[in-house]
A and B are shown apart, each in its own frame.
Chain A
Amino acid sequence: MSQLDIEALKKEWVGVQFEERSFVLDPQNMAEYASACGEVAACYTDPTDPDFQAPPTFASSLQRGRGLPEHFPKMPGLGMDAGKAVEAFAPIRPGPKTSRTHMHDIYAKTGRSGRMIFLVIRMALYDPDGTHVANADTRVVIRERPTEEDQA
């Protein structure tokens, strides 16, 4: 079996949106998340605070539904969580939100254990007026199984 063609994979899949969801953020859940993270500022822990909002990392907890696009090729190895990242553009307030998720990047790198493929899935979070509130990236790493050529 030859190695997966990363450039072809990128060309076909990067930018493909595969999930859109609408939901309502509950202030109590947001406050509980903040407390669990050790936040003590009232703007994060007290829903009655005039500036109440979720900590920026809360965006990462909103990823739901499909992890990968439908018909995405089977990866040549086991996928593992390779970290999360959040870009915050505006406060995350309670109430209605929309999220759109797309394949943001695909790349490979080499390390002690061989070639690794990284998939970066980005969920963009929006307010009802279209304000882009945050991006939450989920990175998945696939440690590629050695090919027959590698083992020869």
Chain B
Amino acid sequence: MILDLHTHSIKSDDGRAKVENYCQWIRTRELPIDGFVLTEHRQFDLESDYSKLAADFGLTILKGAEVETEYGHVLVFGVTAPLLEAFDFSDIHLPLARVIEACAAYGAVPVPCHPGRKRVGMSAHLAEYGVPDGVRIVETLNGGSRDNEDAVAQAMADELGYRGIGGSDAHIVSHVGRCATRFPAPITSEQALVEALNGGEFEAVSFRDA
């Protein structure tokens, strides 16, 4: 199963894609992905229910979040009500340690995203803050990366022993599925995604040249 683990819809302030349009694009363009995770900026979208859309298009549509820390942006998978109480998702100065601690306490998985990017990527802050405890997975393939950002991310992951995921970071419809993550078994819920990430059997894949 292949999931794009990093997408934004119009629920994000800079997102220009409706979820239904992502589904239409994936099917009409016959993209090689089976679904995607909506990781809206600085929030978790509690209100939207995409189950009918997912059924209509035969896709897996899950929800996560992208929060902002001193080490840059971090995807959070497996968001639950207690986790939402644990820290303020809208705070752009979250301590990464607090995010990691809360994720561990409430069964979520934190994944620093586009870590090779300056200012908002983890690698840019290692010299100042050191290697953070508790990071196990980073986004090594990001569909919005420029220049050598993904190479920097992969080099950091290799050096520090992190596993890598892929996500498109799509904000517009035509960018969905540029990068994704391949899992050995089907994933149909946020909980199953957390278990799969914790299991460690996955690989980042790129379809940018497809």
Q: Which residues of A are interface residues toward B (Cβ below 8 A)?
A: 107-115, 118, 139
Q: What are some 6 contacts across the A-B interface (CB < 8 A)?
A: A110-B68, A110-B72, A111-B120, A112-B120, A113-B119, A115-B92
Q: Which applies to chain A's interface (DSSP): helix, strand, loop or mixed?
A: strand
Asked whether B118 lies within 8 Å of A112 as measured between CB atoms, the reply is: yes
Asked whether B119 lies within 8 Å of A109 as measured between CB atoms, the reply is: no
Which residues of B, 22-74, contact A by the 8 Å Cβ criterion? 41-42, 68, 72-73
Q: Judge whether B6 is part of the interface by a CB distance below 8 angstroms.
A: no
Asked whether A107 lies within 8 Å of B90 as measured between CB atoms, the reply is: yes
Nearest 3 A-B pairs (CB), nearest first? A110-B120, A110-B68, A108-B92
Asked whether A109 lies within 8 Å of B118 as measured between CB atoms, the reply is: no
Q: Judge whether B117 is part of the interface by a CB distance below 8 angstroms.
A: yes
Asked whether B92 lies within 8 Å of A110 as measured between CB atoms, the reply is: yes
Give Cα A79–Cα B41 distance, bound, in whole angstroms. 22
Q: Judge whether B13 is part of the interface by a CB distance below 8 angstroms.
A: yes
Give Cα A29–Cα B117 distance, bound, in whole angstroms. 47
Asked whether B119 lies within 8 Å of A112 as measured between CB atoms, the reply is: yes
Q: Which residue of B lies closest to A111 (CB)?
A: B120
Q: A109-B41, A109-B42 are in contact. Are A114 and B119 (CB under 8 A)?
A: yes
Given A107-B42, A110-B119, A112-B119, 12 more pairs with CB closer than 8 A: A107-B90, A108-B92, A109-B41, A109-B42, A109-B68, A110-B72, A110-B73, A110-B120, A111-B119, A111-B120, A112-B117, A118-B13
Q: Which residues of B contact A113 (CB under 8 A)?
A: 119
Give Cα A137–Cα B53 distance, bound, in whole angstroms. 29
Asked whether A109 lies within 8 Å of B117 as measured between CB atoms, the reply is: no
Q: Which residues of B contact A111 (CB under 8 A)?
A: 119-120
Q: Which residues of A contact B120 (CB under 8 A)?
A: 110-112
Give Cα A26–Cα B139 distance, bound, in whole angstroms. 54
Q: How far is the CB of A89 from chain B (nearest CB, A)?
A: 18
Q: Which residues of B contact A139 (CB under 8 A)?
A: 13
Q: Which residues of A contact B42 (CB under 8 A)?
A: 107, 109
Q: Which residues of A contact B68 (CB under 8 A)?
A: 109-110
Q: Which residues of A contact B73 (CB under 8 A)?
A: 110
Q: Which residue of B lies closest to A3 (CB)?
A: B93
Which residues of B, 105-143, contact A by the 8 Å Cβ criterion? 117-120
Q: How far is the CB of B94 from chain A (nearest CB, A)?
A: 11
Q: How far is the CB of B88 from chain A (nearest CB, A)?
A: 10
Of B13, B68, B72, B90, the most chain A CB neighbours within 10 A belong to: B13
Give Cα A107–Cα B117 distance, bound, in whole angstroms. 22
